[in-house]
């Protein structure tokens, strides 16, 4: 049972409904969500489109949602006038799983530890972030589990990934 009193599904890699291929699992940290829902950064659009079309599967856990609801209403974001409906419903696009166990890689920012833990635990293809502490883990996470930690803007340069997803 999760802290919400609900059993979240165990994570299995889904199959692409049209090609029979594995759908890449992605993790979006709070900065990536801010870029998507508050700043409306165009770099988020192809990734969001892939999630909404089922070409990527976004996994999250309850502590990620809790952090989101603590961050987006902060006063420093008011100049961007976050739309409460967009910010409150962002996690409807995620598949929830239980809190991950520690992965062995240590993030210098304890608030961001859950993102690398979940990415490593489920074998995510990409963890999207612009947090320096998470980005520093990219080489080790890729070597250990094939998890790439990158900015939304860096993903656009991965032409093989975009071709694989038909974007």
If DSSP codes are grouped into helix, strand and coil, which group holds residue 47?
A: helix
Q: Quote the crossing angle between the two packed helices 113-122 and 62-71, to the nearest 10°.
A: 150
Other C-beta atoms closer than 10 Å to the C-beta of 86 total 13
The whole model's pTM is what? 0.82
Query: Is 5 a member of any domain?
Result: no
Query: Is 19 a member of any domain?
Result: no
Residues (pLDDT < 70) of the chain are 1-21, 157-167
| 163 CB burial (10 A radius; 0-12, 13-18, 19+) | exposed
At 128, which CATH number? 3.40.50.1010
Query: Is 15 a member of any domain?
Result: no
What is the residue range of 57's domain?
Answer: 25-164
- Indicate the number of domains in the chain: 1
Q: Residue 151: which of 124, 126, 130 has the closest Cα? A: 130
At 11-35, the pLDDT tens digits run 444 433 334 458 999 999 999 999 9
């Amino acid at each position: 049972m999760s802290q919400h009193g609900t059993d979240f599904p165990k994570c299995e890699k889904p199959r692409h409904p049209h090609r029979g291929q594995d759908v890449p699992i992605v993790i979006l940290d709070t900065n990536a969500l801010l870029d998507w829902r508050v700043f409306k950064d165009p770099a988020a659009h192809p990734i969001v489109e892939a999630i909404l079309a089922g070409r990527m599967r976004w996994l999250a856990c309850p502590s990620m949602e809790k952090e989101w609801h603590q961050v987006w209403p902060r006063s420093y974001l008011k100049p961007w006038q976050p739309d409460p409906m967009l910010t409150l419903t962002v996690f409807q696009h995620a598949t929830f799983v239980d809190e991950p166990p520690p992965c062995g890689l240590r993030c210098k920012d304890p608030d961001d530890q859950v993102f690398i833990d979940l990415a490593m635990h489920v074998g995510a293809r990409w963890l999207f972030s612009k947090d320096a502490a998470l980005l520093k883990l990219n080489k080790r996470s890729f070597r250990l589990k094939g998890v790439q930690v990158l900015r939304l803007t860096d993903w656009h340069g991965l032409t093989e990934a975009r071709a694989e997803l038909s974007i």
